[in-house]
């Protein structure tokens, strides 16, 4: 690909200072990937819980396992981030918050809201 | 190289499905907290209701197409070799088609039980 394009590439990850809007963007991808990879587990639990009364209680017991609670916590962060950042991207598509200052502010709000939802989820899942 | 994969339609679908799933998830989470299904009968009755059954089916179809468009864009951004792209995209397709068959098996069990 792109044989003519010989621009230097600077990809030293420790030296790139990604702006906060870029962090939202890459987290949107990472959270999306995590959510996609967790679909089999979600469907497994959905199928099991709807199969029979016994399957329902088995699914309930599985959800009490520490490993599943941990996955659920990461999933809560991923879902919260994906939804909040997704709403932000939809607003940008509607020409709301496109300029640099507004985009940076909404990026910080995204991280703030996501952290808040994560804390709530931790309380609900672990306490 | 153009694969005929880009364009306005997947872009629009990604947004329409996002809005639908957002609405469904907010409704679902509110329902879970407002009246948590206490036992199997209550849980089963939720999804056996025709409106909820349909809304759930549409949710999963939206989800799989959303994942397909989203991961496809990510794959095309980071993997540049054509054979690698082909293998990974076919793998993703098989993964998503198996999952959709699985979820519809679960959904049909609810109504046929």
Cα A88 to Cα A99: distance, rounded to the nearest angstrom: 13
* pLDDT per residue as tens digits for the range B15-45: 999 999 999 999 999 999 998 998 999 999 9
* Residue ranges covered by each domain of chain A: 66-127
A57 contact residues in B (CB cutoff 8 A): 40
Query: Taking CB atoms and an 8 Å limit, are B71 and A33 in contact across chains?
Result: yes
A86 part of contact set with chain B, CB < 8 Å: yes
How much is the pLDDT for B1?
44
| Euclidean distance between CA atoms B19 and B16, whole angstroms | 5
Length of chain B: 113
Q: Would you kindly state where each structural domain of chain B is located, as residue ranges?
A: 8-112
CATH number 1.20.1090.10 given to B8-112: no
pLDDT over 70 percentage in chain B: 94
- Provide the number of CB pairs (under 8 Å) joining chain A to chain B: 57
Tell me the C-alpha distance between B88 and A51, whole Å. Answer: 33
pLDDT tens per residue across span A18-30: 899 999 999 999 9
Mean pLDDT, rounded, for A53-80: 96
pLDDT at B92 over 80: yes
Q: Across residues A70-81, what is the average pLDDT?
A: 97
> What is the predicted ipTM?
0.91
Query: Are A125 and A76 a contacting pair, CB within 8 Å?
Result: yes
Q: What is the per-residue pLDDT across B44-75, written as a single tens digit (0 to 9) for each?
A: 999 999 999 999 999 999 999 999 999 999 99
What's the predicted TM-score (pTM) here? 0.90
């Amino acid at each position: 690909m792109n044989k003519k394009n010989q621009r230097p590439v600077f990809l030293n990850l420790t030296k790139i200072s990604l702006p906060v809007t870029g962090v939202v963007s890459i987290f949107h991808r990472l959270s999306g990937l995590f959510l996609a990879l967790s679909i089999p587990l979600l469907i497994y639990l959905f199928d099991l819980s709807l199969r029979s009364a016994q399957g329902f209680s088995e699914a309930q017991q599985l959800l009490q396992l520490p490993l599943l609670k941990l996955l659920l916590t990461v999933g809560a962060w991923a879902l919260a981030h994906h939804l909040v950042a997704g709403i932000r991207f939809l607003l940008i598509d509607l020409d709301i918050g496109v300029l640099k200052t507004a985009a940076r502010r909404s990026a910080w709000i995204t991280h703030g809201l996501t952290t808040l939802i994560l804390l709530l989820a931790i309380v609900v899942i672990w306490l | 190289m153009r694969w005929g994969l880009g364009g306005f339609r997947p872009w629009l679908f990604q947004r329409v499905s996002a809005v639908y799933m957002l609405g469904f998830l907010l409704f679902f989470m509110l329902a879970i907290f407002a009246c948590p299904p206490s036992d199997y009968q209550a849980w089963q009755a939720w999804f056996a209701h025709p409106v909820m059954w349909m809304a759930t089916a549409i949710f999963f179809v939206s989800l799989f197409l959303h994942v397909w468009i989203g991961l496809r864009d990510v794959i095309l951004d980071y993997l540049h070799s054509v054979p690698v792209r082909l293998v990974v995209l076919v793998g993703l397709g098989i993964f998503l088609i198996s999952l959709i068959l699985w979820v519809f098996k679960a959904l049909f069990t609810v109504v046929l039980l």
